[in-house]
Chains A and B, each alone.
Chain A
């Protein structure tokens, strides 16, 4: 049974893993620069999810209806919704940093204060969605139904999976190139490795922090689009909770602070939980993911590729 579904699970895992990876990048970027686990990042993702969902509504798509629009139109609408989700999540992340974290930084608050603030911010955003939109998921809007495009070793690969995996990889390459090849990206790395010296090189640390949150938010917004394409009933106030924890686990698994680690961790986690589900049943899906995390950390405490935008080379 497991072997029969091996390739299907692998492809499905890569597709889910791409979503984890995009969210994990946000955790890892912020951790790299501030050594802060931004627990509110999962809610930044949810803001992206609602941004995408409301764009669908605004474009005239209704829950439960199959859209009667040609493929090119569907793609254009998806891109538009994704862009809105990215911008909203990106701006929300920057505002979160301004409102929640910067005041603490100005006061040299201890690290625990940041952590508690992050958890608090996470609750606040979650509850705002619960109060304004209720506890039930929004109605299902599916723009692009999954259809098998081709087969790999007999396993069908759907249009959604192809789009998600390729788009996520493309976004990763953009983020990686930004951090490693551009002037501003070098500033981000410099702040991650040694903030005081980075300042002495003329790097504006506050701007670097803002850009880091913005980039993490943009990627979470893109992940939100792919998430809603895969799970169209997923727009709900607490939809970021488990996904956020898994993405965080993925970041730790790959080596937190390390961009390539976040990608690798996300993909491995996605694949592993699909294998686990296939081997032990659906109830064990999440268990397998976290047992894997614990197992890896026992042997490699800094994750698969090692920690930090600094110490290990990104």
Chain B
């Protein structure tokens, strides 16, 4: 069943039309990838879903419920968690405090489950465990990305929005991040992934969409798009 549904969504920054009639569906339990060049509207789509941006027209439902009137901070309570582009680690908070912020909406913050969830983040990313008392601003880019993902999981999301998780990371981190994304998905979290690293993003996607200048130009199963010569030509650097 569809967990998230966008129909004919238009979003503008002032007079600049950033999204033009975007429609996409994210089925529960899937990994859905959005690929596209810089400025295609990927991050705008993410911010519209998480509520940081309002939409001009169109409809957006989450689990069958209209999302357009729901405040951004309340969408988190409904289970939509975004790992923002650039990670958004709180620089003055330690790793543990950042994880704690991730669970801000939870009422069981002193419980064993909460502590278990923190430990789970450390199981996914052992490097973070070594740095649990270090402040976020002093972590490397890869560590910050790990922390950002771990933090988003603290809210126990139903839908995890990942905006360019591989951006600016060393290759060994990229592999690790994508492995964890698959693990998270296997545990039942639906993932919407925005990536410039199209090979990786299509490789693990059940369903994928190609965005160009604010419009969806292609969609289909990830493996299908991955094998498509025009996509290969435009996004995969294969000629």
* A interface residues (Cβ-Cβ under 8 A, vs B): 183, 186-187, 189-190, 193-194, 196-205, 308-314
Contacts and interface: CB of A to CB of B under 8 A. Distances in A.
A288 to B, nearest CB: 33
B92 A311 contact: yes
B73 A203 contact: yes
B88 A203 contact: no
A310 B91 contact: yes
A202 B91 contact: no
A312 B155 contact: no
B227 interface: no
Contact of B105 (A189, A197, A201): A201
A205 B90 contact: no
A173 to B, nearest CB: 20
B234 interface: no
B182 interface: no
B109 interface: yes
A200 B72 contact: yes
B28 to A, nearest CB: 21
Given A197-B84, A202-B76, A314 B104 contact: no
A308 B104 CA distance: 22
Contacts of A186: 97, 100-101, 104
Given A199-B73, A202-B104, A311-B137, A183 B109 contact: yes
B77 A202 contact: yes
Contact of B88 (A183, A189, A194, A205): A194
B70 to A, nearest CB: 12
Contacts of A202: 73-74, 76-77, 104-105, 155
Given A196-B88, A197-B84, 13 more contacts: A186-B104, A187-B104, A189-B92, A190-B101, A194-B88, A196-B52, A198-B101, A200-B84, A201-B105, A202-B74, A204-B73, A205-B73, A314-B92
A186 B97 CA distance: 9
Interface in B43-89: 50-52, 71-74, 76-77, 81-82, 84, 88-89
Q: Which of A200, A313, A314 has the most CB atoms of chain B within a 10 A radius of its CB?
A: A200
A310 B77 CA distance: 25
B91 A311 contact: yes
B129 interface: no
A169 to B, nearest CB: 24
Interface of B: 50-52, 71-74, 76-77, 81-82, 84, 88-93, 97, 100-102, 104-105, 109, 135, 137, 151, 155
Contact of A203 (B89, B92, B104): B104
Contacts of B84: 196-197, 200
Most buried by A among B77, B101, B151: B101
A193 B93 contact: yes
Contacts of A193: 90-93
A197 B88 contact: yes
Nearest to A308: B92
B192 to A, nearest CB: 14
Nearest to A313: B92
B90 A310 contact: yes
Contacts of B51: 199
Contacts of B50: 200
Nearest to A193: B90
Contacts of A313: 92-93, 135
Nearest to B109: A183
Rank and list the top 6 A-B pairs by shortest CB-CB distance, nearest first: A197-B88, A202-B76, A202-B105, A193-B90, A201-B104, A204-B73
B104 A199 contact: no
Contacts of B82: 200
Contacts of B92: 189, 193, 308-314
Contacts of A199: 51-52, 72-73
11 contacts: A189-B92, A190-B93, A197-B88, A198-B101, A199-B51, A199-B52, A200-B88, A201-B104, A202-B155, A309-B92, A313-B92
Contacts of A194: 88, 90-91
A204 to B, nearest CB: 5
A308 B90 CA distance: 12
Contacts of B102: 201
A189 B76 contact: no
Choose among B71, B92, B151 the residue with the greatest number of A CB atoms under 10 Å from its CB: B92
A199 B155 CA distance: 13
A314 B92 CA distance: 8
Nearest to B148: A197
Nearest to B106: A202
Contacts of B137: 311
